[in-house]
């Protein structure tokens, strides 16, 4: 629970690598297939196995661990998948060092899924369990995608339900529930023989204990030696968020591709966010593929967030989580892949190794570094930090 934000950054790094493989190979390959033949776009995933290592280091937080993914078809209509994911967290972040002590914890995540192909449709079921010392999360999901208009258009619908349990390592009687529902709809369209576009919309509803039981807010206290004191955060028990995005991939004549994305987010906590991403994938001589990517993210603060409240219990809801503040981030990443098996070897049809390095710069506009004791409360330096995300994995198709 304490380091879920850091874990989110690591997961985004892993997803970015997966997206790179998708953009650089699968979608480009799909464009070539559409250009050359009228083959069906609705197909089951290939049999494959991935072994991944991820690492996040930034802002006093270190997260690392392995992941194993296996995809296997059963006949022509069914595909099974399983994933085992582990990470270890060591945190001395600004949230921790200013109100608590450094900690270490582990998390294990296990997921399973099944895809069923019927005509031009694929129906999917999935289940995920994530377990750590003070947080257990469960998610069950269903999705369907349908190809139509000679496989030039794909429509997808999805629903997922999550039920989580939040605990507190310092209070054995503390136990709260969270429930989350996720609705999504997407449209993928072949625009030309060289271009694909995708439009998605997602709504998430949350209900339950939605804040971190360890985090505190600070308020003006003239009786305190430093001019302020702390009290526990208090969040609303409901939240609804909406995300709309558009993505495009364009294939270039020299077997390269460019892609871009814009995503808009808003919620009932009055957060508004914009995300812009662009990248270029280029095949090198031999078996190498190179990708470069840039991402810019900016958001407004939640309506009940403040770095320094006017007094104790100043309002009904109070938060000082920096991820709910007004901030922006810049991310630059570079990835490199090498096919060490192209023409098959024994039971392996193809094999590749992938490495990605990502650098993230976080800049907070309304969250102050209270380790700056030379300034008056509310006048401390604004907080910023950099983070590195490294992801490496080996993939084999069989």
Quick check: 99 pLDDT over 80?
no
Give the C-alpha separation, 141 to 159, whole Å. 6
Give the C-alpha separation, 264 to 26, whole Å. 26
Quick check: 307 pLDDT over 80?
yes
| Calculated CA dihedral for residues 341, 343, 349, 355, nearest 10 degrees | 30
| CB neighbour list of residue 8: distance below 8 Å, 6 or more residues apart | none
Looking at residue 101, its pLDDT comes to 67
- Residue 167 pLDDT grade (very low, low, confident, very high; cuts 50, 70, 90): very high
Quick check: 34 pLDDT over 80?
no
Give the C-alpha separation, 57 to 356, whole Å. 14
Quick check: 397 pLDDT over 60?
yes
Quick check: 38 pLDDT over 60?
no
- Among the CATH numbers 2.115.10, 1.10.287, 2.40.160, 1.20.120, which is that of 4-397? 2.40.160
Quick check: 35 pLDDT over 60?
no
Quick check: 28 pLDDT over 50?
no
Cβ atoms of 216 and 223 closer than 8 Å: no
What residue ranges in 37-134 does DSSP mark as E strands?
A: 48-58, 61-74, 78-91, 103-118, 121-132
Residue ranges covered by each domain of the chain: 4-397
Average pLDDT over residues 313-332: 97
Looking at residue 286, its pLDDT comes to 82
């Amino acid at each position: 629970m304490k380091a879920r934000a850091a874990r989110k950054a690591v997961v985004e790094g892993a997803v970015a690598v997966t997206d790179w493989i998708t953009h650089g190979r699968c979608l480009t390959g799909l464009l070539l297939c559409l250009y050359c033949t009228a083959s069906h776009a609705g197909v089951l995933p290939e049999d494959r196995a991935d072994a991944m290592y991820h690492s996040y280091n930034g802002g006093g937080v270190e997260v690392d661990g392995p992941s194993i993914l296996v995809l296997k078809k059963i006949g022509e209509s069914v595909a099974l998948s399983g994933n085992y994911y582990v990470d270890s967290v060591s945190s001395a972040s600004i949230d921790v060092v200013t109100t608590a002590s450094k900690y270490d914890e582990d998390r294990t995540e296990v997921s399973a899924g099944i895809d069923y192909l019927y005509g031009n449709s694929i129906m999917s079921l999935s289940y995920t369990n994530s377990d750590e010392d003070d947080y257990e999360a469960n998610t069950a999901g269903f999705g369907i995608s349908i190809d139509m208009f000679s496989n030039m258009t794909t429509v997808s619908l999805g629903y997922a339900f999550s039920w989580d349990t939040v605990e507190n390592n310092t209070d054995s009687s503390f136990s709260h529930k969270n429930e989350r529902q996720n609705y999504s709809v997407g449209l993928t369209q072949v625009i030309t023989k060289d271009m694909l576009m995708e439009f998605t919309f997602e709504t998430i509803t949350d209900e339950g204990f939605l804040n971190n039981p360890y985090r505190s807010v600070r308020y003006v206290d003239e009786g305190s030696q430093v001019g302020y004191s702390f009290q526990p955060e208090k969040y609303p028990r409901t939240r609804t968020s909406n995300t709309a995005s558009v993505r495009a991939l364009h294939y270039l004549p020299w077997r390269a591709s460019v892609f871009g994305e814009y995503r808009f987010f808003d919620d009932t906590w009055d957060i508004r966010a914009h995300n812009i991403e662009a990248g270029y994938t280029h095949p090198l001589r031999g078996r190498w593929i190179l990708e470069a990517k840039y991402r810019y993210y900016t958001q407004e603060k939640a309506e009940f967030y403040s770095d320094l409240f006017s007094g104790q219990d100043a309002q009904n809801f109070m938060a000082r989580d920096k991820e709910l503040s007004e901030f922006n981030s810049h991310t630059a990443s570079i990835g490199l892949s090498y096919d060490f098996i192209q023409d098959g070897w024994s039971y392996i049809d193809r094999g590749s190794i992938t490495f990605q390095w990502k650098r993230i710069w976080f800049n907070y506009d309304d969250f102050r570094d209270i380790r700056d004791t030379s300034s008056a409360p509310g006048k401390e330096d604004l907080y910023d930090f950099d983070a590195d995300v490294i992801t490496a994995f080996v993939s084999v198709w069989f």
